[in-house]
Amino acid sequence: EQLLKVKDLTVRVEEKEILHGLNLTINKGETHVLMGPNGAGKSTLGNAIMGNPAYEVTGGSIVFKGEELLSKPVNERAKDGIFMSFQNPLEVPGISLMNFIRSAVEQKTGEKIRLFPFRKEIFKAMDVLQMDHSYAERDLNVGFSGGEKKKAEILQLLMLKPSLAILDETDSGLDVDAVRTVSKGVEEYQKDKDGALLIITHSTRILESLHVDATHVLVNGTIVEDGDGSLVDEINEHGFERFENA
Ligand code: ADP
Ligand code: MG
Ligand code: MG
């Protein structure tokens, strides 16, 4: 069952075209990996799907759950079930991690959340991520290390249960243990059979224990190759040279 269909997408950032007619289809529950050299446009694709207004879509379409997304603002897309974890998560003084996630879930579902079961669930998810429960009461990302910020992103993923999660280099800059923990969190999300993933990454470490349905290589704003999970290993070994010279 088709979840996301990106068709002939062109995107401009500050008057410069970054994506030149990109095509990508993700079905319900599938895990896709997006790789490509720095500056290829990977984050641009994520931002365009999320509806970040700095990324101007000048052509093509993005259909999600059978509906055109392009006319919808960011908050509606989140409500529809799209989540993106950021390369550099923001620090937000004055709102605790738990309250931030609680209001995000309330906004998404339109329902008031009962605190007791919510606390129980968030602590369970924090255990998967090896986060001390005291972090729930701390201001969002304030004074968090790089690894803790990334774990906080995955915690949001586990609590929000989106239909499509875009993870933008969630593993970059993390030590081996933190990558393993983040990967465990993603694996937990994969257990929900309906949740699809678009994982943007430079490394194969986060993918080791994850099932991958498809891999896409993005170079200079277009997808130059699609393959299965084995394409990840090939790129890891040989880099992007053969795609860049094609
Ligand atoms: P990747 O994630 O593949 O490394 P990006 O999508 O971040 O690549 O960037 C693609 C190109 O678009 C780069 O040349 C980058 O400088 C430019 N770009 C992306 N976002 C912005 C922005 N917010 N403002 C200006 N230029 C941007
Ligand atoms: Mg990059
Ligand atoms: Mg990027």
- In this prediction, residue 98 carries a pLDDT of 97
What residues sit around ligand 3, an ion, with C-beta below 5 angstroms?
A: 42-43
150 in a domain, yes or no?
no
Q: Is 36 in the pocket of ligand 1 (CB under 6 A)?
A: yes
Q: Does position 106 have pLDDT exceeding 70, yes or no?
A: yes
Q: Is 163 in the pocket of ligand 1 (CB under 6 A)?
A: no
Q: Does position 205 have pLDDT exceeding 90, yes or no?
A: no
Q: Whose CA is nearest to atom 5 of ligand 1?
A: 41
pLDDT in tens, 118-154: 999 999 999 999 999 999 999 999 999 999 999 999 9
- Give the residue, 126 or 244, on which the prediction is more confident: 126
Structure tokens at 66: 């059978």
> Shortest CA distance to 50 belongs to which of 27, 74, 28?
74
222 in a domain, yes or no?
yes
Q: How big is the chain, counted in residues?
A: 246
Domain that includes residue 228, residue range: 2-89+162-244
Q: Whose CA is nearest to atom 7 of ligand 1?
A: 43
Q: Is 41 in the pocket of ligand 1 (CB under 6 A)?
A: yes
96 in a domain, yes or no?
no
65 in a domain, yes or no?
yes
- In this prediction, residue 163 carries a pLDDT of 97
- Looking up residue 209, the CATH number of its domain turns out to be 3.40.50.300
- In this prediction, residue 202 carries a pLDDT of 85
116 in a domain, yes or no?
no
> Shortest CA distance to 80 belongs to which of 19, 163, 175?
163
126 in a domain, yes or no?
no
- In this prediction, residue 93 carries a pLDDT of 94
18 in a domain, yes or no?
yes
| Count of the separate structural domains present in the chain | 1
CA 107 to chain CA centroid, nearest Å: 19
Q: How confident is the model at residue 246 (pLDDT cuts 50, 70, 90)?
A: low
What does the alpha-carbon distance between residue 17 and residue 1 come to, in Å, rounded to a whole number? 31
Measured from the CA of 40, which atom of ligand 1 is nearest?
3
Model confidence, pTM: 0.95
Ligand 1 site-directed mutation target among 16, 17, 18, 217, most atoms within 8 Å of CB: 18
204 in a domain, yes or no?
yes
